Amino acid sequence: MGKLATTHHRKTMDEKYDFIDRWLPARYTSSVNLILQEKRRPAEYIRRVKKEKIPDKEIMDALYLIAKLNKLQRET
C-alpha cells in the first residue's frame, strides 16, 4: 500500500513541476519572496529549487501559485 501512495505522490509532483516549467514567468524570484514574506530566501536558492527540483514545499507552493497566476493572466 505504501508503494501505491508513493507512486501517486510522485506522479502528482511531476505534474506540478511540468506545470511550473510551462507557466512560470521569466522573472519570478521577487514574487516568491513576496509570497513567503517572513521566510524570504535568496534568489539563487529559489532558482536552485526550481532547476534541481529540491523538495522545499514552501517554495514549490509559491512557484506553483505564481505559475497559476501567470497562466490566468495570459489566458485572459
pLDDT tens digits along 16-72: 899 999 999 999 999 999 999 989 999 999 999 999 988 899 999 999 999 999 999
Question: Whole-prediction pTM value?
Answer: 0.83
Q: So what's the pLDDT on residue 55?
A: 87
SS3 at position 27: coil
Q: So what's the pLDDT on residue 10?
A: 78
Residues 6+ apart with CB under 8 A from 44: none
Locate the domains of the chain by residue range.
2-75
Q: Which residue has the cell 524570484?
A: 29
d(CA 13, CA 38): 25
